[in-house]
Structure 1
Amino acid sequence: MTRLSVAIRLRLILGVFGLIFAVLAVDLVRAQWLDPVVAPEWGNGVSPRVVPVEATRGVITDRNGVVLARNVPDYRLVLIPGLLPSEVEPRRAMLLELHARTGVAIDRLVQATDTHLARVDPFRPVVLEEHIQTEQAIALRSSLAGLHAARVEATSDRRYETSGALAHVIGYVAPIPADRAAELQKAGYSVEGRVGLTGVEAVYESRLRGEAGRRLILTDPLGREVGMLGDNPPRSGSTVELSIDLALQRTTEAALRRGIDAGLSIVRTVPGRPQPVPGGAAVVMDVNTGEVLALVSLPSYDANLFNGSTDAQAFERVLRDPGHPLVDRTYMETRSPGSIFKPLVALAALEEGIATADTRITSNGYISVANEYDPSIRYIFKDWAVHGSMDMTRALARSSDVYFYLLAGGYREGGREVFRGMGADTLAKWARLGGFGRPTGIDLPGETGGLVPDSKWKEKTIGDPWLLGDTYTYGIGQGYFTVTPLQMAVLAAALANGGDLLAPRVVRGIREDGRFLPNGRQVTARLPGTPAHFETVRRGMLAAAATDGTAFTGVPTDWQAAAKTGTAEFGQPYPDGEFDTHGWFMAYGPFERPEVAVVVYLEYGVGSTHAGPVAKEIFEAYLATRGGPSRVSQPGGTP
């Protein structure tokens, strides 16, 4: 036999032995560290046991490092079913004794001992009560002296420092819902574990949660720890840094509250008419990165209600509130945008060759349109004022409805086309190009995309044909077309940055292991348009923010911004035919080197009167964080 063949055989033998040892090692690790069951006894009643160790959940901060969600010490009362007597009568006697010492109902104690988990792993603690105050925990520990089947454990609770100001953004953690229990247990969650259910807590759950550890201990016949064989420590969750500026968020919230109250003042009281439910939203977004600097939805709620430590009646009040405080109006709820849609209509008309910057249309306060089947019947479509002859810049500055009726639907008289409009389907095409009809991609759960209707949609959904009046109202941002405030902020940013539709981000980045992992800029699509056409629209919005434009109420003094107001009718008409209105304001600034977009939405109100002043306060607060406004000359009038 050659030396080479001997060497080969030796290597084969060693390889087989190595494989056998590897299999045994894997089986030992699985049995001792992964399986949550009691291993065989090691003699003298001593048994090894794997004990899971929860990881510390990561904190959430604002962009300046201010802690918004943190962990605080907490206590809970647990029962270890395996330490109860196995005989019926002694077992019942001990349960009665536990009831007397802890106050926990007998039915709850019996239930805790009769679960599937208690049968599979009887030495795993079952939670009886959570969120025990420190003084009560001390008293309970003293009361339980000598009873090994129950104990008070130190744990932690999630605490939200900003109450309602950021509840929608941060979200909350809560006990694992029954319908997700099986899924999350497979992912390594404990039965008594908590999970992020909404907001950043849910979206960034895998980063915040960390990795649980395990301890391999020895226990005596009473389940008490008498030694430790090994320790695999947990890994704490990462710090999630929001793009939100807490100071700006609070200022935005306060300004929005004032705007909501002001808007409610114009709602009329009519017997039999439902009472108005106040609400509103505001978005502040970096036009170059997509970072959200403030995101406010009102009414809001206290996220601490969901940790189980608060009065149940307060929790029920939130659930039954007619204002639906759990709904984030910035991206979960849609409304007609009114005239803040007009800048996109203008861009579409320029790109489609329907109009130029110099196209002039005269508004005498209305247009009269003949019924296509009976010309003796005429329909009146009102403007909000008499504007006279206007080019596109002036039409945007004064927000003329007649101008945009014609851009959208055209005008015919006596069977002759006087002005060719785009039509409903072209409007729908450009609405989609502007990012509407689909979610923006914000890193928050539950976003809705709104509705972009076209001629086929109405016939298919409602069963009626699309009419010229539908196209006219489409052109001024009303009718069936609906959007979210966040979508309007993305559009404003695209108009400012030259066409990039950015995915909004409320998380600036992740901090872990001494590193910062930024949440990078993401462009979801491009809004088409030539630089000249973009500039025409921007100049119209700049003119709207001048002293004789409709949006001058929303811009700080001595500061240039591009802006647009919107007032959208909704609901049932009053006896005189008038409607309640939503108030909108959309803007970005500074004009020459844009930094930030602001969108304000009021459930009740007028864009220039009520939403505009809210935006002005927000801009002023933003400028204060940047060392004050850039002093530039404000144009004295519109071109």
Structure 2
Amino acid sequence: MMFRRRGRIRVIREIAPEEIFLDSSNLPEHDARQFEGRLERPVATRSILTVGVVFVLVVFGFSYRAFQLQVVRGDSYATISRENTLDHSLRFATRGLIFDRTGTELAWNIAQPVASDATSSPERYALRRYAPVPGLSHLIGFLQYPKADAKGQWWREEYSGVSGLELSYDTQLRGQNGSTMVERDALGKVERENIVSPPVNGENLRLSIDADVQSKLYTLISAHAREQGFQGGAAVIMDVRTGEILALTSFPEYDHQAFTDGDVASVRSANGNPRSPLLNRAVAGLYTPGSIVKPIFAAAALNEGIISPDKQILSTGAITIPNPYDPARPSVFRDWAVHGLVDMRTALAVSSDEYFYTIGGGYGTQSGLGIAKIDEYSRRFGLASTTGIALIGEKAGIIPTPAWKAAVFGPEDPWRIGNTYHTAIGQYGFQISPVQAVRFTAAIANGGKLLTPQLLASSTPEFLTVDIPDNYLQVAREGMRLAVTSNRKDATVKFFNISGIKLAAKTGTAQLGYRNESMNSWSVGFWPSDNPHYAYAVVLEKAPAGTLSGAAPAMLPFFQWLIATHPEYLN
């Protein structure tokens, strides 16, 4: 390179980079670690080609693997991917146990047996078991288990009570199921399992029932019923002070364990049985009461002031009413025997129909309650209405009235005095249940408290009042006691006059069928007669007319057993 300056030409030589860096090591700021003082050289073509080949091979490898996963095996991996989710798993709550008043287990749970090749799962629910004791099926009831479809999806996730206490207290017994979330990898291996919500176990129930008393009651009265040709029956024992039920049984019964287990043969057999073993006769069976309602109408007549307890009425075996439609054929209403002169207490002791025809409908100079008052006092004692017992399916029953007759038979068949007479002795269209019978008997025994029957121990008593002074109810109690202690040959339950227990009782018989070819037999009562603590009611259903050994004789061996084995229930 040449430069001109003031007429002179100077030749300047370019310095090559190599010459500059030859002495760069002598520079004070030189830093060799930062590549100062080094020459840059271009990357060799061979190296670039090598990197390119490697890159192409890697891209090809990834592309091939992606093709294999997404195209060749895409469907199978898509299925695995869909299943590779968080699974919801149930944790079943433990159903509450049921105990009787003494602590005896009546219903409990056992773990399902696990096959040797199976693994334990939180989705295995417990199996329900019942005490193998006769007489408990209708009371305890049965349930249905949780159910899953063929794919293992639960369409019923909880136990479901179907009848008895399993149904009535299903909410308390069932608790609340919990759940877990299970995370699995694509191969099905559990990665994590987290409890989302723990199960809340059901509440236990302690019943007012004594299972030993109930079982023996069932065994004795059902055996007597079979011997005498009765088709069924029921019995109830109530504490007249609290309303707690000591025993409530119905026969024939069904196998509630088999129903819970889903035994098809047992279910089919029970459903096809003409004796209706699935019917809880204690609360849903309705029967013509017969003479057991007479103590109600005795107290009603005293409360209405139509008769004194000491006034005597002559029983000649029948009363006759003129027939305005055919004077030659008067209407005759018969007594079951000729009793002679009887006052109210004696009329109850011998169960005089004539006496109660008279105070019910009136006869001669003696006025009667009339059907309106019979209806009113029947309702005061809880008839024609449910009792409030905690069992599903309770029936209210019927009190025959003119309105009822018109609805059933039509207005062309008016109410007649004979209908009143028959209603006053618990016949005609009258229908009540055993639990209603024990309830009104308890009200007579306890001075007029119409208690709600309680099935749980230590329940708070609930009651209405019948609004009748206790001195009138006392007359009814004395008449029922006289039925046991009287020396008269026509006294109805003299065989109850046994040592060890003071019983007061009333019997009832109701004819059935177009020609009265069948009968039901009742017995109600309470003990101790001088300080009542328990009341009972028993009905035996449909035996041939004329059967002499009915409900009261069926109870005699029970009371003898109670005296020998359970003195705690005698006072």
Q: TM-score normalised by the shorter chain: which range applies?
A: 0.7 to 0.9
- The Cα shift of 1:556 comes to 3.4
Q: Report the Cα distance in structure 1 between the residues aligned to 2:445 and 2:341, rounded to whole angstroms.
A: 28
How far apart are residue 190 of structure 1 and its match? Answer: 5.4
Equivalent residues of 1:583, 1:602 under 8 A apart: yes
What is the Cα deviation at residue 49 of structure 1? 3.7
Equivalent residue number for residue 138 of structure 1? 116
For 1:177 and 1:476, how far apart are their aligned partners in 2? 52
1:362 partner letter:
L
Aligned residue number for residue 320 of structure 2:
368
C-alpha separation between the residues in 1 aligned to 2:319 and 2:83?
A: 94
Is the Cα contact below 8 Å between 1:551 and 1:608 reproduced in 2?
A: no
Bigger drift between 43-52 and 377-386 goes to 43-52
1:167 positional shift: 0.7
Distance 1:326 1:287 in 2: 28
Is 1:57 aligned to 2:27, yes or no?
no
Aligned counterpart, 2:556: 616
Look up the match of 1:284. Answer: 237
In structure 2, distance between residues paired with 1:479 and 1:205: 39
Counterpart amino acid of residue 67 in structure 1 = E
Aligned equivalent of 1:299, options 252, 267, 278: 252
Judging changes above 3 Å, is the alpha-carbon distance between structure 1 residues 530 and 338 closer, same or farther for their aligned structure 2 residues? same
> What is the distance in 2 between the residues matched to 1:423 and 1:488?
22
Matched, 1:461 2:439: no
Cα distance between partner residues in 2 of 1:159 and 1:282? 25
Residues 90 and 123 in structure 2, CA contact (< 8 A), matched pair in contact too: no
Alpha-carbon contact 1:555-1:616 (below 8 Å) kept: no
2:535 aligned to 593, 597, 605, which one?
Answer: 597
Q: Which residue of 1 aligns with 2:461?
A: 521
- Pair 1:236-2:188 in alignment: no
Look up the match of 1:430: 377
Q: Deviations over 1:30-68 (max 9, x none)?
A: xxxxxxxxxxx9x99864343221101111111111111
Q: Aligned letter for 1:419? A: Q
Greater Cα offset, 480-489 or 541-550: 541-550
- In 2 relative to 1, CA 68–335 (structure 1 residues): closer, same or farther, beyond 3 Å? same
Is 1:567–1:607's contact at 8 Å kept on the other side of the alignment?
no
Deviation at 1:375, TM superposition (A): 3.6
One of 537, 541, 553 as aligned partner of 2:476:
537
Q: Work out whether 1:167 is the aligned partner of 2:132.
A: no
Cα displacement (A) at 1:226 = 1.8
Provide closer, same or farther for how the CA distance between residues 151 and 592 of structure 1 changes in structure 2, counting only shifts above 3 A: closer
* Cα distance in structure 1, aligned partners of 2:384 and 2:354: 26
CA-to-aligned-CA distance 1:208-247 (integer Å, 9 cap, x gap) = 1112112233222255432124453212111111111011
Cα distance in 2, alignment partners of residues 622 and 364 from structure 1: 40
What's the secondary structure of 1:609's corresponding residue?
coil
Give 1:449's aligned residue: 396
Larger Rg: 2
Q: Residue 98 of structure 2 contacts residue 205 of structure 2 at CA under 8 Å; is this kept in 1?
A: yes
Q: 1:290 to 1:223 in 2, by over 3 A?
A: farther
Q: What is the CA–CA distance in structure 2 between the aligned matches of 1:151 and 1:46, rounded to whole Å?
A: 19
- CA gap 1:223/1:428 in 2 versus in 1, 3 angstroms: farther
Query: In the comparison of the two structures, how many residue pairs are matched?
Result: 481
| Matched residue, 2:492 | 550
Correspondence list, 1:8-23, <5 A: none
Q: Which runs of 5+ in 1 are unaligned?
A: 1-40, 76-133, 143-149, 182-188, 265-276, 413-417, 509-517, 632-639
Matches within 5 A, 1:151-190: 154-162=124-132, 164-175=134-145
TM-score of the aligned structures, taking structure 1 as reference length? 0.71
Shift of 1:622: 3.7
Give the residue type in structure 2 aligned to 1:445. Answer: I
- 621-630 or 397-406: which moved more? 621-630
CA contact (8 A) 1:252 1:617 kept: no
Q: 1:558 to 1:171 in 2, by over 3 A?
A: closer
- The percent identity for this pair of structures is 35
Q: 1:230 to 1:485 in 2, by over 3 A?
A: closer
Partner of 1:357: 309
Once the two structures are superposed, the pairs formed by residues 501-520 of structure 1 within 5 Å of their partners are 501-508=450-457, 518-520=458-460
Asked if the contact 1:260–1:604 (Cα under 8 Å) also holds between the matched residues in 2, the reply is no
Alpha-carbon distance between aligned partners in 1 of 2:436 and 2:175, rounded to the nearest angstrom: 33
Alpha-carbon deviation of 1:349?
0.9
Q: Deviations over 1:535-575 (max 9, x none)?
A: 111111110111432122345335322210111111131xx
Indicate conservation of the 8 Å contact 1:564/1:585, yes or no: yes
In structure 2, how many angstroms separate the alpha carbons of the residues matched to 1:154 and 1:522?
A: 41
Q: 1:628 to 1:168 in 2, by over 3 A?
A: closer
User: Separation in 1 of the partners of 2:96 and 2:529?
Assistant: 39
Residue of structure 1 in register with 2:361 after alignment: 409
RMSD (Å), alpha carbons: 2.8
| Structure 1 residue 490: Cα displacement | 0.2
CA distance, structure 2, for counterparts of residue 287 and residue 347 of structure 1: 18
Using the TM superposition, give the Cα deviation of residue 290 of structure 1 relative to its aligned residue in structure 2, in angstroms: 0.9
Tell me the distance in 2 between the aligned counterparts of 1:449 and 1:284. Answer: 19
- For residues 180-259 of structure 1, the aligned pairs below 5 Å read 191-259=156-224
2:520 to 582, 591, 598: 582
The 8 Å contact of residues 169 and 506 in structure 1, kept in 2 or not, is answered as: no
